[in-house]
Structure 1
């Protein structure tokens, strides 16, 4: 049984004036409180199905607190060289155009 929670993006989408979700999606996000399963959301919201709910998960509005995070943090013990924006090589600029003359 998968239980879903709102993400920060999901909470932001529920703010007045936010137009990121359809009315049905908004209702699903509103009801995803960490207590209802995907099955309960499907039966509670008219027209909601697993595809619509999983779309909200993939788009970042809902999350499964039991699922591993998809964010990859850099390993502090990594032996790969680090570059900073100051040391990253930049492409050469083309010469400025010359005036006809």
Structure 2
């Protein structure tokens, strides 16, 4: 998964499977899309790091946004990272299973 659309679709699917409401999925999708745009504009590379998330949240604070908005951004990034970790775990499990056969 390397494209912006693929990341967004992955987050959306993850939230649906975790039974989040349509409103929450939409809000997190919008917040995450803004984070991805910020990463693309800043040429932050493909890897997602905690430092990037921290820089983004500080950037949003410096824009004068309310904490409620920044907390929503933080939550969306957290959910994506949970999704990303779950996909990575499944990939490692498949690799391990194949190597055992």
Instruction: Name the TM tier (shorter chain).
Output: 0.3 to 0.5
Q: TM-score, normalised by structure 1?
A: 0.36
Q: Which has the larger radius of gyration?
A: 1
